[in-house]
A = this chain, B = another copy of it.
Amino acid sequence: MHRFFMTGEPLNKDKIIIKGQDAAHIRVLRIRPEETVAVCDGKGLDHICRLIRADGREAELEIIKTEPSSAEPSVDCIIYAAFPKADKAESIIQKCVELGAAAIYFFPSERCVSRPDQSSVKKKEERWHKISEEAAKQSGRGVIPKTGVIDSFEKAVKQAADADLPLFLYEKETELSIASPLFEKGTSCKTVSVMTGAEGGFEPFEADQAKQAGMLLVSMGKRILRCETAPVAALSAVMLCTESF
């Protein structure tokens, strides 16, 4: 079943009007009157709808039933990744949305090579939102995960430390595997945060700051993961241990 995200509220409790790009998309996909599609409210509810009419600019749909989006994971896992080079942020967003992240934020860290200025951040954020929306549609998510920039390492740590299980992936941590806290507390966590470094990882003083703020420094083994692989692997581990697979 094709999925769309609605903007705004239903016209009334039985009817939805879709305009703009999605209306054009309904035409492109050649969805016919009487066919059913899912229109997601972006907050975790799916309206299962019957198409009444569509002319490419506007589509009218009748709500048959409304149900919680079944694909949403039970855990809210937010990814905090240090700005990576080139288009790796886009790859991180796409994969993490598929895997069930609640949000994906990027922040500057000591070893970041890439530090976009304010004007390019705005452009990037628009593009990231589009990638998140596309990935959410494609993977059947019930929400469009938020994406954006947190403008300092300190703020990112403070926010990440708030989770029930705040995981800081640190390549110099040799004692505590990410497996330990996940196996121990995974199923009881409502919120998890995963913080990962840029190319070259984190500086020791950054790891100290994260620890001071209450984050758990964890290892993902002895193999050095690329900055775009680590969040995806860690999120997979979180989903596995929170019964979200």
Contacts and interface: CB of A to CB of B under 8 A. Distances in A.
Contact of A222 (B71, B94, B241): B71
Interface string A93-108: 0110011100000000
Contacts of A244: 221
A79 to B, nearest CB: 14
Contacts of A139: 223-226
Interface in A124-151: 138-141
Nearest to A141: B223
Contacts of A225: 98-99, 139
20 contacts: A70-B222, A71-B221, A71-B223, A73-B223, A98-B223, A98-B224, A98-B226, A98-B229, A99-B225, A100-B221, A139-B223, A139-B224, A139-B226, A178-B240, A179-B241, A179-B245, A182-B240, A229-B232, A233-B239, A240-B241
Interface of A: 70-71, 73, 94-95, 98-100, 138-141, 177-179, 182, 219-226, 229, 232-234, 236-237, 239-241, 243-245
Q: How many copies does the complex hold?
A: 2
A153 to B, nearest CB: 25
Contacts of A234: 236
B223 A100 contact: yes
A67 B146 CA distance: 46
Contact of A99 (B94, B98, B223): B223
A147 to B, nearest CB: 17
Given A179-B241, A179-B243, 15 more contacts: A70-B222, A73-B223, A94-B226, A98-B224, A98-B226, A99-B225, A99-B233, A100-B223, A138-B226, A139-B224, A139-B226, A140-B224, A219-B245, A233-B236, A237-B245
A191 to B, nearest CB: 18
Nearest to A136: B223
A245 B100 contact: no
